[in-house]
């Protein structure tokens, strides 16, 4: 780790101004990913701007019945919040499924969105990686890629986004707010992450110098009956090998609204709009759920070792929507 400066800021405009003045500065939130990457040598900032004390630590109801979540709200506080648990239970479940109690206490909502992939090649400086060193190659494609992407990847990079929280946010149409030196802006979460293409090192659509200030969840009555299902290679404290955020509004056996987002299958939380389209207005049956999953997964491009994710995601969609249907009937 190289030496760096440290500044603690207390207001958003000061934070943005400081970042603009220092080209190799980074914002420090909980540090659970950034500090680790600095130790690994993947990140080498010259200045850390500590934003943890910014007044962005509130979760507030919006006038239209949604929620606004400040960027420095910790994962723990997000998951413990009664309104989050009541209105968007899958979001609380997703956050609780991630990392550990210690890390959730440290990690912030803004940092969660900006965390980097855990691809073993990306975090190992002795190996090539197009995301870390553009043009150096992607050894995962021919190497170890059991937990790599089946959707939206390219031959340049098949790394997956590790966030659980983001999967639920994608399902619930979250909007990311940010501040720049030129004023504030917004990005829907589903447009927040850039396509991989041949630029896997460019990960988000945030303008240069932007500071994430919060996330807005629009009202979503469908989210009241929602679930996050995470599959991993041990029962806890592990990244997903496949996950699903699902919300369902079903009446008299007919699907009025459905939300589906996949985790650990793409470089970003994967909103399964094609599956949603297939299901909308149709019957809530296992056959329909399977057909919807197949429709979404028709775009899957598998590598030699990660084809199981197609089966896994299909099973998760069918199982979880069936459970939600049964729950709705109770």
Burial annotation 307-318 (CB, 10 A radius, 16+ → b, else e): eebbebbbebbb
Cβ closer to other proteins: 47 or 113? 47
Strand positions, DSSP E, 15-119: 25-28, 47-50, 59-61, 67-70
SS3 13: helix
Nearest-approach distance from CB 255 to other proteins, in angstroms: 16
CA distance linking residue 251 with residue 325, whole number of Å: 9
Q: Which is nearer to other proteins, 124 or 198 (CB)?
A: 124
| Cβ closest to other proteins, residue 42 vs residue 170 | 42
Which CB sits closer to other proteins, 121 or 193?
121
For residue 210, the tally of other CB atoms under 10 A from its CB is 22
Contact 268, 152 (CB under 8 A): yes
Residue 68 CB, nearest approach to other proteins (Å): 19
Indicate the helix (H) or strand (E) that contains 97.
helix 89-97
Residue placing its CB nearer to other proteins in the complex, 68 or 301 = 301
Minimal distance in Å, beta carbon 104 to other proteins?
9
Based on CB atoms, which residue is closest to other proteins, 80 or 202?
80
CB 188 → other proteins: shortest distance, Å? Answer: 25
CA-closest candidate to residue 263, choices 289, 236, 232: 232
Residues with Cβ within 8 Å of 134's Cβ and at least 6 positions away in sequence, in order, are: 199, 200, 201
Based on CB atoms, which residue is closest to other proteins, 170 or 300?
300
Residue 209 Cβ, how far from other proteins at the closest point, in Å?
16
Nearest-approach distance from CB 212 to other proteins, in angstroms: 18
Q: Which residues are paired to 216 by β-bridges? A: 68, 175
Least distance CB 92 / other proteins (angstroms): 5
177 closest CA partner among 220, 219, 207, 203: 207
Torsion angle (degrees, nearest 10) of CA 208, 209, 213, 218: -10
3-state SS, residue 294:
helix
């Amino acid at each position: 780790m190289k030496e760096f400066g440290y500044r603690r800021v207390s207001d958003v405009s000061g934070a943005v101004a400081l970042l603009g003045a220092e080209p190799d500065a980074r914002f420090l939130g909980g540090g659970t990913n950034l500090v680790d990457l600095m130790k690994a040598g993947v990140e080498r900032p010259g200045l850390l701007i500590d934003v943890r004390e910014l007044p962005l630590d509130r979760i507030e109801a919006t006038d239209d019945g949604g929620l606004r979540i400040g960027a420095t709200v910790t994962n723990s506080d997000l998951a413990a919040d009664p309104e989050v648990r009541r209105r968007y239970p899958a979001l609380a479940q997703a956050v609780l499924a991630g990392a550990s109690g210690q890390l959730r206490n440290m990690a912030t909502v803004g940092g969660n969105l900006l965390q980097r992939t855990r691809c073993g090649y990306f975090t190992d400086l002795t190996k090539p990686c197009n995301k870390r060193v553009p043009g150096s190659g992607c050894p995962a494609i021919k190497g170890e890629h059991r937990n790599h992407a089946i959707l939206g990847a390219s031959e340049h990079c098949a790394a997956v986004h590790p966030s659980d929280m983001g999967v639920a946010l994608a399902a619930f149409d979250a909007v990311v707010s940010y501040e720049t030196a030129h004023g504030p802006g917004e990005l829907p979460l589903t447009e927040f992450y850039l396509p991989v293409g041949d630029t896997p090192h460019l990960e988000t659509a945030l303008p240069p110098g932007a500071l994430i200030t919060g996330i807005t969840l629009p009202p979503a009555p469908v989210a009241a009956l929602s679930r996050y299902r995470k599959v991993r290679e041990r029962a806890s404290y592990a990244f997903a090998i496949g996950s699903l955020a699902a919300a369902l509004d079903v009446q008299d056996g007919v699907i009025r609204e459905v939300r589906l987002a996949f985790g650990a299958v793409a470089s970003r939380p994967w909103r399964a709009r094609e599956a949603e389209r297939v299901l909308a207005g149709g019957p809530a049956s296992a056959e329909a759920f399977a057909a919807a999953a197949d429709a979404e997964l028709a775009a899957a491009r598998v590598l030699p070792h990660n084809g199981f994710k197609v089966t896994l995601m299909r099973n998760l969609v069918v199982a979880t929507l069936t459970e939600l249907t049964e729950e709705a009937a109770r």
